[in-house]
Amino acid sequence: MTLCRTLRARLALQYAGVLALLLCLFSAGVYFGLRTVLGRNLDASLWSIAESEVASASDAPDGAVHFHEVSPNPLRAGGVARLDKLVQLRTFPQGRLVGKSRTLGASELPLSAQARARLARGEVVFETVRTPASPPIRMISLPISVQGEVRYVMQVGASLAPLQTTLRRLLGVLLVLDASALGLTALAGSFLARRALRPIGQLVRTLERIEGQSLHRRLAVVTPHDELGRLTTVLNRMLDRLERSFRSQQRFIADASHELRAPLASVQLALELALRRPRTAQEYRQAVQSALEDVAHLSRLVEDLLTLSRADSGKLEIARRPVPLASLLQQVVAAFAQRAKEKQLEVAVAVPEVVVAGEPALLFRLFANLLDNALRYTPAPGQITLTGAADADVVRVTVRDTGIGIPAEHLPRIFERFYRVESERTRETGGSGLGLAICQEIVRAHGGTLTVTSTVGQGSAFTVSLPLYNRLV
């Protein structure tokens, strides 16, 4: 429905709907309550009239039956109608008419079989007599006992037309009042909803103006302690996260483009130089070898980017298999033994014989990256140690070197993608700036932690905490 597309319209309709329900309940209570009260009052009046007529039915000196007849009402001409009573006296159980009031004319008040049965037991009977040609009549049948037996029945009736007229007028008044109150409430609800939602409209307009180049803008928090203020605060925090993510993505794209452009340019240059003039087989072999080295670098870079992409999408597959930690680290050290020997660096391993839970290939890559990082930035002669300590749940492995160290101001960002310490760590040293970021993602996927401590000129220590396999089985 077009009318209910806006929150303001829905709120106004909900207010009106709730009020309509309350008004219906209230009006129904008033209507039926008044009808019950008027009905009870009429029954009480009929009973009182019946008793009065019984007492005065034979008070005339001639011994005849007389009733209190209604005299002409001088107020009828002024529009005030009087409820005339209908009175008659019957014998019981024969039902012979003894006397009746002139208001009955040629008619008689009926005496039903059910009323006869109840009158025989001495009960007072109230009935509503309905006739097709006139309004219904409310009637009382009062038994009159003589020497302990019911001999007569005094019947007094009154038309229900005045009561029905009163109830119809009341119903009309209630409908008018309810409709008026409902309309005013709908207008007031629409006004209040518009006023309450006006700040939300301002928030929407401000958010619509925020784009990639204006993510630094924030929403104004007018009332920080109410619902709208909390919503604005949450939106500002979300904008903070979006800005950081957007800026990080921009840096990532720029850095990835730079890292890809350099080896591609190197490959292109090598091939162009090789094709400028005829060369010997050895020169062509050198050109191809240089291009292959750059292609290998590109392959490693693409593989690193794919690993990070899978980590970001939650698709970094972890098998959670048992992995002997000491054996794994010995394999990692063996893979880098020749390189360490060439750089005159000593690598030592001292870890407990424990089993960790994870993917062997990813854990190998984790410690290979850390060891590669230590070999890259540790000058000869130097030492690199891999030590570990285990408790009931986790094992902590520390890769410590005696290298150049990392300045303290760079430590908070050391695990960011493509981040390098500009003074010492450049592409010429061989790194792409993705190794530590990949280590962080691998450790996180295994449910562990990776921390770093470093002192410039003394070296760095990277500590990996991994869950033990026996904790998960």
Q: H helices within 349-434, ranges in order?
A: 360-376
**Which of 51-60, 246-255, 315-324, 330-339 has the highest average model confidence (pLDDT)?**
330-339
Give pLDDT, residue 385: 94
Please, which residues bridge with residue 154 across strands?
89, 142
Q: What percent of the chain has pLDDT over 70?
A: 84
For 432, other C-beta atoms within 10 Å of its C-beta total 20
Question: Residue range 417-435: average pLDDT?
Answer: 61
Q: Is the pLDDT of residue 247 over 80?
A: no
Cβ within 8 Å of residue 473, ≥6 positions away = none
CA distance between the termini of the chain: 56
DSSP 8-state class, residue 77: G
Distance CA 140, CA 191 (A): 56
Distance CA 403, CA 385 (A): 12
Give pLDDT, residue 413: 84
Give pLDDT, residue 310: 67
Give pLDDT, residue 4: 57
Distance CA 31, CA 472 (A): 71
3-state secondary structure 378-393: CCCCEEEEEEEEECCC
Give pLDDT, residue 233: 84
Question: Residue range 224-247: average pLDDT?
Answer: 81
| Architecture in CATH for domain 321-472 | 2-Layer Sandwich (3.30)
Whether the ω angle into residue 379 lies within 30 degrees of 0, i.e. cis, is: no
**Spatial CA neighbour of 452 closest among 467, 473, 435, 429:** 435
Confidence of residue 202 (pLDDT cuts 50, 70, 90): confident
pTM surpassing 0.75? no
Query: Sign (positive/negative) of CA torsion 200, 201, 204, 210?
Result: negative
Q: Is the pLDDT of residue 330 over 70?
A: yes
Confidence of residue 187 (pLDDT cuts 50, 70, 90): confident
Q: Is the pLDDT of residue 453 over 90?
A: yes
What homologous superfamily is domain 1-59+84-209 in, according to CATH? PAS domain (3.30.450.20)
**Which of 7-16, 79-88, 414-423 has the highest average model confidence (pLDDT)?**
7-16
Distance CA 356, CA 363 (A): 10
Give pLDDT, residue 79: 31
pLDDT single digits (tens) 278-329? 878 887 788 788 778 777 767 766 776 676 666 666 666 677 789 999 999 9
Distance CA 455, CA 421 (A): 14
Q: Is 211 helix (H, G, I), strand (E, B) or coil?
A: coil
For the stretch 3-8, contacts whose Cβ atoms lie closer than 8 Å and that sit 24 or more positions apart, written own/partner, are 7/193, 7/197, 8/190, 8/193, 8/194, 8/197
Distance CA 297, CA 290 (A): 11
Q: Are strands 345-350 and 382-390 parallel, antiparallel or unpaired?
A: parallel
Out of 66-80, 412-426, 449-463, pick the least confident. Answer: 66-80
Give pLDDT, residue 29: 93
Query: Sign (positive/negative) of CA torsion 293, 294, 296, 300?
Result: positive
Give pLDDT, residue 5: 66
**Spatial CA neighbour of 387 closest among 440, 338, 334, 329:** 329
Q: In the chain, where are the structural domains located?
A: 1-59+84-209, 227-312, 321-472
Give pLDDT, residue 276: 80
Domain range 227-312, CATH class: mainly alpha
Give pLDDT, residue 93: 87
Give pLDDT, residue 73: 44
Helices and strands of the chain, counted as H and E runs: 10, 12
**Which of 12-16, 35-39, 230-234, 434-438 has the highest average model confidence (pLDDT)?**
35-39
> Judging by beta carbons within 10 Å of its beta carbon (0-12, 13-18, 19+), is residue 425 exposed, middle or buried?
buried
Out of 58-72, 164-178, 394-408, pick the least confident. Answer: 58-72
Q: Is the pLDDT of residue 471 over 60?
A: no
Give pLDDT, residue 315: 63
Give pLDDT, residue 256: 67
Distance CA 365, CA 216 (A): 38
pLDDT single digits (tens) 18-73? 888 999 999 999 999 999 999 999 999 999 988 888 877 655 444 455 565 555 44
Cβ within 8 Å of residue 457, ≥6 positions away = 404, 405
Whether the ω angle into residue 381 lies within 30 degrees of 0, i.e. cis, is: yes
DSSP 8-state class, residue 429: G
If one compares 349 and 75, the residue with the highest pLDDT of the two is 349
Distance CA 384, CA 39 (A): 104
Scan for tokens 């063996």, then name that residue.
334
Q: Is the pLDDT of residue 83 over 70?
A: no
